Amino acid sequence: MKDRLVIFDTTLRDGEQSPGASMTKEEKIRVARQLERMRVDVIEAGFAAASPGDFDAIHAIAEAIKESTVCSLARANENDIVRAGEAIRPAKIGRIHTFIATSPIHMEKKLRMTPDQVVEQAVKSIGWARSYTDNVEFSAEDAGRSELDFLCRIFEAVIKAGATTINVPDTVGYNLPSQFAETIKQLISRVPNADKVVWSVHCHNDLGLAVANSLAAVLAGARQVECTINGLGERAGNASLEEIVMAVRTRADVFPVETGVDATQIVPASKLVSQITGYPVQPNKAVVGANAFAHESGIHQDGVLKHRETYEIMRAQDVGWTQNKLVLGKHSGRNAFKTRLAELGIELASDEVLNAAFSRFKALADKKHEIFDEDLQALVSDETVTPEDEHYKLMYSRVCSETGETPEASLTLTIGGVEHKAGAVGGGPVDATFKAIETVVQSGAELLLYSVNAITTGTDAQGEVTVRLSRGERIVNGNGADTDIVIASAKAYLNALNKLHSSGDKVKAQGNV
Ligand code: KIV
Ligand code: ZN
């Protein structure tokens, strides 16, 4: 019997800390449901004290999720822990994850606390957390640059106080695999009662080593890995869930552990997170990149055709890749539509929402006669939009683009329900459209990124557009999909403006206590 490797997904917390990756409550619930379908053990649903929106999203996820543990992050102070405890209250299995920094540089320059004060605060925090749940995780932030003796001291104290999982984060992605493995080995052998807790690691990817460090730690005795879908996360991101899960499974000859993850749900999860956050997956990304199983060279193709394992160590279908399978067409009825959504794990809130989605499906099927799963995912993502999310809404758009002429866009928008007409010229049809929107909105935002991806193959595919805007301290991503990429672009731009319009002030997780 192999040990269980606990998969702790932090896409909704650390992943959401990527610039512009913030998600609405409904989007977070969709991601959480997909994580549960994938059978991850722990879902870190957010940081309850960060904002009322984060609190509500964690609370809603705690109500919705039944199989996975639902966790909230909390700094090591009473207020944060009370917020986390209240947010996870409805969870069938809930966890509070509290943390404080332990490296000399963080304690002295950021916390301005002595090591003794840090230990005292950590111990008190475990006590506060234990009054809500006996499932309490403690993290020593910046453990990767902390002194081993001090880590032993603080971990001994928090285990005594009742922590049940001890997390060792390489917060700034500074460690190397052999060094990090040695740290984990030393901690497990030196900390009293180490066998009473689960040892966890949380690695960032600043040197591209997050997955390697996490796997080295597993070989040294760690039994929980914190990771994110597509490796999303602060700066260069976190360890990527799909790479960890598939490494452990593919190299079962080396790892003395197994996960409970249903790997066939990996690609759907990757696509969902990419679509919601607007972070595209690079084509050559391991496991979930579009080229991860594509063999280009003749020699490789020949080898794979003769015997798949000549060049493939995993099977595409085992991680959820399907051929772009025709699922529905313009003659499909409401029932077939509803059934396919249910198979994809998509539950629409009411019959009214289902009817609205079905009319949009029919409109799409008129323009594009083969509808794939990816089209359905993009189509229903708009269904979670509430009127409050749509302060700016596109009603009508007309764009002229002609050889030798300057492209021109005319639009009708509603702003807070009031209709406005706008027009502008630009370097291209998308530029003209964005300029036309800005003539009435005057957002003062700066465009940081514009990207278009075809959702499926074929020239009638829907284009999925991502727009990243910044204004002051805030960065947001907007998405839009349509068979007409100029309309998809307008939708994405307005989606980003709507996110800027909604209040989104948050406390940053990596902060003072
Ligand atoms: O990177 C980090 O140290 C964290 C902690 C809050 C666990 O995200
Ligand atoms: Zn982190």
Span 266-299, pLDDT tens digits: 999 999 999 888 888 988 999 999 889 876 667 7
In this predicted structure, what is the pLDDT of residue 199?
Answer: 99
Ligand 1: atom nearest CA of 13 is 8
Task: Give distance in angstroms: CA of 57 to centre of ligand 2.
Answer: 19
Provide mean pLDDT across the span 318-346.
80
Using CB distances shorter than 6 Å, the residues near ligand 1 are 14, 73, 99, 139, 141, 169, 171, 202, 204, 509
Annotated ligand binding at 59? The verdict is no
Judging by DSSP bridges, how do beta strands 136-141 and 165-170 pair with one another?
Answer: parallel
Residues 6+ apart with CB under 8 A from 430: 450, 485, 486, 489
Ligand nearest to the CA of 232: 2
Provide mean pLDDT across the span 322-351.
78
Does residue 150 or residue 476 have the better pLDDT? 150
Residue ranges, comma separated, of all CATH 3.20.20.70 domains in the chain are 3-277
- Which residue puts its alpha carbon closest to atom 1 of ligand 1? 171
Q: How far is it, in rounded angstroms, from Cα 234 to Cα 132?
A: 29
Ligand nearest to the CA of 233: 2
Ligand 1: atom nearest CA of 14 is 8
Annotated ligand binding at 307? The verdict is no
Q: 466 φ, ψ to 5°?
A: -115, 135
Does residue 481 or residue 387 have the better pLDDT? 481
Ligand nearest to the CA of 172: 1
Q: Quick check: 482 pLDDT over 60?
A: yes
* pTM of the model as a whole: 0.87
Q: How far is it, in rounded angstroms, from Cα 162 to Cα 138?
A: 10
For domain 3-277, the CATH superfamily is: Aldolase class I (3.20.20.70)
- Which residue puts its alpha carbon closest to atom 8 of ligand 1? 14
Task: Give distance in angstroms: CA of 395 to centre of ligand 1.
Answer: 43
If one residue of 100, 204, 205, 508 were mutated to test the ligand 1 pocket, choosing by the most ligand atoms within 8 A of its CB, it would be 204
In this predicted structure, what is the pLDDT of residue 12?
Answer: 98
Domain 387-501 adopts which CATH fold?
Double Stranded RNA Binding Domain (3.30.160)
Task: Give distance in angstroms: CA of 169 to centre of ligand 2.
Answer: 7
Q: 341 φ, ψ to 5°?
A: -60, -45
Task: Give distance in angstroms: CA of 143 to centre of ligand 1.
Answer: 9
Q: Quick check: 513 pLDDT over 70?
A: no
Which amino acid does the sequence have at 197?
V
Annotated ligand binding at 202? The verdict is yes
Q: How far is it, in rounded angstroms, from Cα 307 to Cα 167?
A: 43
Structure tokens at 369: 């006669």
Residues 6+ apart with CB under 8 A from 238: 10, 14, 15, 202, 203, 204, 205, 210, 226, 227, 228, 231, 232
Structure tokens at 336: 């077939």
Q: How far is it, in rounded angstroms, from Cα 59 to Cα 46?
A: 10
If one residue of 14, 97, 105 were mutated to test the ligand 1 pocket, choosing by the most ligand atoms within 8 A of its CB, it would be 14
In this predicted structure, what is the pLDDT of residue 503?
Answer: 67
Cα dihedral angle (309, 315, 316, 317), rounded to 10 degrees? 140
Residue ranges, comma separated, of all CATH 3.30.160.270 domains in the chain are 387-501
With tokens 């997050």, the residue in question is 210
Bridge partners for 224 per DSSP: 6, 200
Q: Quick check: 154 pLDDT over 80?
A: yes
Annotated ligand binding at 369? The verdict is no
Per-residue pLDDT band for 138 (boundaries 50, 70, 90) equals very high
Provide mean pLDDT across the span 20-33.
90
In this predicted structure, what is the pLDDT of residue 304?
Answer: 76
- Which residue puts its alpha carbon closest to atom 5 of ligand 1? 141
Q: Quick check: 47 pLDDT over 90?
A: yes
Span 347-405, pLDDT tens digits: 777 888 888 889 888 888 888 878 887 788 788 776 656 666 789 999 999 999 999 99
Q: How far is it, in rounded angstroms, from Cα 353 to Cα 303?
A: 49
Q: How far is it, in rounded angstroms, from Cα 98 to Cα 44?
A: 12
Span 68-114, pLDDT tens digits: 999 999 999 999 999 999 999 999 999 999 999 999 999 999 999 99
If one residue of 99, 125, 228 were mutated to test the ligand 1 pocket, choosing by the most ligand atoms within 8 A of its CB, it would be 99
If one residue of 12, 139, 512 were mutated to test the ligand 1 pocket, choosing by the most ligand atoms within 8 A of its CB, it would be 139
Query: Residue 331, class by beta-carbon neighbours within 10 Å (0-12 exposed, 13-18 middle, 19+ buried)?
Result: exposed
In this predicted structure, what is the pLDDT of residue 335?
Answer: 86
